[in-house]
Chain A
Amino acid sequence: MSNSIDSSRPNPSLIRSMDYSTDIPGASHWSLRMRKGTIMRLTDTQGGANVGMLFYNPENLLERYNAPDSLKCQHTFKLTQGHCLYSDMGRIFASIIEDTHGWHDTVCGNSHANHIKRWGVRDYQSNRNDWMQNGHDAFLVELAKYGLGQADLAANVNWFSQIVTDETGKMQLAPSKAAGAQLTLRFEMDTLVILHTCPHPMNQADNYPRKPVHIQLGEAEPVTTTDACLTACDENRRGFQNNALYHLGR
């Protein structure tokens, strides 16, 4: 059994097409349903972005991203290339097929209104699109559109945010990487994606960090038997088998 992830391995020809691109401003939220076999590439165009993301099975909204299962079955605290994002039903929503950032957080959750207060008043009436949105409220707004609420808000991923720990367990948000960091998700089953571009809750910047993300959507090439995510560890092979079983039953 191998649990090491070789993030330097090149990933040619994993992507068939790029069909759509959009820029999501900082402090915004969005959601969309991704089909099995599609890809989503995120680019931190300015540096210092944080993209909060949640995953649900659109056919059974009770099946959702499970951070503990994703971490423990891959023996990792960080998410990066080669890792898979697991649901609570032992299936894989998405694989991280490319990642130049190297370390993404999935244990710190969201910014709440109280975290944003340090930067001033959160006032749409006065500030319009420059208001200071927080991640918790952004998720609640998007979740409500699918009949989901507070109780459905599990641990999210925070793309482009790195949380390091020392031997006593003390946590710290690492400094942001330069502009241009990029990661690509390949969806292994139909997935409802909920996302926001609000600051990481541990961000101590002097000013509210309003950072956009560039999103590209397209089609993936079929997963091969030598795929780096599938072969990253025995656990991922079994996860892909669970997905195959799920698709047999549909």
Chain B
Amino acid sequence: MSVIASDLLIDNARYTQSIKAGNYYLGTIKAGQTFRIVDLEGNQAADTLFFNANDPSERYSAMDTIREQSNVYLTTGSELRSNLNNVLLRIVADTCGRHDTLGGACATESNTVRYDLEKRCMHACRDSWMLAIAEHPEYGLHKRDISHNINFFMNVPVTPEGGLTFEDGISAPGKYVELTAVMDVIVLISNCPQLNNPCNGYNPTPVQIAVWD
């Protein structure tokens, strides 16, 4: 794992915002701007999607990203690729060291399978995204655009035997990931409200975003 800190100071950021667990963030980052997500209290998952701001049918693709870098984990140096295999953003700093893009987001429907059929009414990331695209038609996003995301601050190791495990213990209060946009991108974050998964200690907490020119 490669841990690389940033020189950017939060006091110099053009914009900052705190996102409570269960809320979403939807905004545009211009090419060349740098975007940071801070895990304020630790062990939180920021379920994040990116879109080409000029054509949202081009969007973050977990498959293209991990295939082109021949590695299933994301960290400093990772190029986040689109479904057209273009680079959307680059991770330029990362004090956590590893982020997941295989596990996807929680959804009320998948919660029925993963935990219990009675969990279907608990709030989940995909519902946060659905509300975001419904409340902001100006972005031109539709359910068909909601695909496989990045889970910043999550550790989901793959075993050599082909298993997939969910582990705790990589993130901590104040850890962050920082990305520079290569093209104008729409950012859609669901700050995960997951109450069923021990990865966040059953206690979802806020994250902060910051943008520098």
Q: Which residues of A contact B (CB under 8 A)?
A: 62, 66-69, 71-73, 75-78, 86, 88-91, 103, 107-110, 112, 114, 149-156, 164-172, 201-202, 235, 238-239, 241-242
A68 near B102 with CB under 8 A, answer: yes
Known contacts A75-B164, A167-B160, A241 near B117 by CB under 8 Å: yes
Q: What 1/0 mask marks residues of chain B from 151 to 165 whose CB sits below 8 Å from any chain A CB? A: 000001011101111
User: Complex: how many Å from CA A166 to CA B102?
Assistant: 16
Q: CB < 8 Å: which of A154, A238, A239 contacts B148?
A: A154
Give how many A-B residue pairs fall within 8 Å (CB-CB).
134
A154 near B112 with CB under 8 A, answer: no
The yes or no answer to B85 lying at the interface (CB within 8 A) is yes
Q: Which residues on A sit within 8 Å (CB–CB) of B160?
A: 164-167
User: Complex: how many Å from CA A242 to CA B116?
Assistant: 11
- Shortest distance from the beta carbon of A1 to any chain B beta carbon, whole Å: 11
A170 near B147 with CB under 8 A, answer: no
Q: Which residues on B sit within 8 Å (CB–CB) of A155?
A: 62-63, 147-148
| Closest residue of A by beta carbon distance from B74 | A169
Q: CB < 8 Å: which of A67, A151, A201 contacts B145?
A: A151
Known contacts A75-B165, A90-B112, A238-B117, A165 near B158 by CB under 8 Å: yes
Q: Which residues on A sit within 8 Å (CB–CB) of B62?
A: 68, 107, 155
Q: Which residues of B contact A (CB under 8 A)?
A: 56-59, 61-64, 66-67, 70-73, 83-85, 102-105, 107, 109-114, 116-117, 126, 142-145, 147-148, 156, 158-160, 162-166
User: Complex: how many Å from CA A235 to CA B119?
Assistant: 13
Known contacts A72-B164, A88-B107, A166-B160, A77 near B67 by CB under 8 Å: no
Q: Which residues on B sit within 8 Å (CB–CB) of A66?
A: 104, 110, 148
B104 near A72 with CB under 8 A, answer: yes
Choose among A68, A168, A238 the residue with the greatest number of B CB atoms under 10 Å from its CB: A68
| Closest residue of A by beta carbon distance from B143 | A62
Q: CB < 8 Å: which of B59, B72, B112 contacts A107?
A: B72
Q: Which residues on A sit within 8 Å (CB–CB) of B109?
A: 88-91, 242
Q: Which residues on A sit within 8 Å (CB–CB) of B116?
A: 238
